[in-house]
Amino acid sequence: MTSKSPLFTVRSATAADATALSDLEHEARLEIIAFRGHEILLNEIELIDSLWVATVTNNSNLVLVAETSGQVVGFAKGDIGAVNSSCVVSHIYVDQMARQIGIGAGLIAEIARIAKSRGCATLDALALPGDRKMKNLYERVGMPARLLIASKTL
């Protein structure tokens, strides 16, 4: 389960990637603070942090990493639904210094390929309001928005 481009490799994450995954997860959580709705998303999507080893080995998760020059610079995590045969990309992040070379698209392409091989019929992904770069990425890989969830804290 590895795909390669001249500039990077996307592969399934292993327990050895846990520290890199935790570091990138923290970077991602800091970056999304700039967008509306981040508080709700941060509450609903729990910090994995020290639990990456268990997350990587859980069969209902797809966790991929992207490497360039032997260093992990991005990751994606998909959650496979037991009932509706869908995979939801709950986490995707590429280090700012490694962007613009197709890593995000490579992560999504590989997660879609693996999800399909596991029987998933749909791939959904999350983006916050105002996160135009994320929305553009999804559109570039053939994933236009199909649902907007409006919310109010009561």
pLDDT at 42: 79
**What is the per-residue pLDDT across 122-144, written as a single tens digit (0 to 9) for each?**
999 988 888 889 999 999 999 99
- Rounded to 10°, the helix 132-140/103-117 angle is 60
pLDDT at 84: 67
* Residue 1 scores a pLDDT above 70: no
Question: Is 146 inside any structural domain?
Answer: no
pLDDT at 81: 81
Question: Is 153 inside any structural domain?
Answer: no
CATH at residue 98: 3.40.630.30
**What is the per-residue pLDDT across 64-114, written as a single tens digit (0 to 9) for each?**
999 999 999 999 999 998 776 899 999 999 999 999 999 999 999 999 999
- How would you class 36 by CB atoms within 10 Å of its CB: exposed for 0-12, middle for 13-18, buried for 19 or more? exposed
Question: Is 89 inside any structural domain?
Answer: yes
Domain residues for 100? 2-140
Residues in the chain: 154
Q: Cα–Cα distance between 61 and 44 in angstroms, integer?
A: 17
* Residue 3 scores a pLDDT above 80: no
When divided into structural domains, the chain yields a total of: 1
Question: Is 58 inside any structural domain?
Answer: yes
Q: Cα–Cα distance between 39 and 60 in angstroms, integer?
A: 26
Q: Cα–Cα distance between 36 and 59 in angstroms, integer?
A: 32
**47 vs 1, residue with greater confidence:** 47
Q: Cα–Cα distance between 92 and 75 in angstroms, integer?
A: 6
**8 vs 131, residue with greater confidence:** 8
3-state class (DSSP) for residue 35: coil
Q: Name the residue with tokens 């791939």.
A: 123
Question: Is 91 inside any structural domain?
Answer: yes
Phi then psi dihedrals of residue 2, to 5 deg: -135, 135
pLDDT at 116: 93
124: β partners: 88
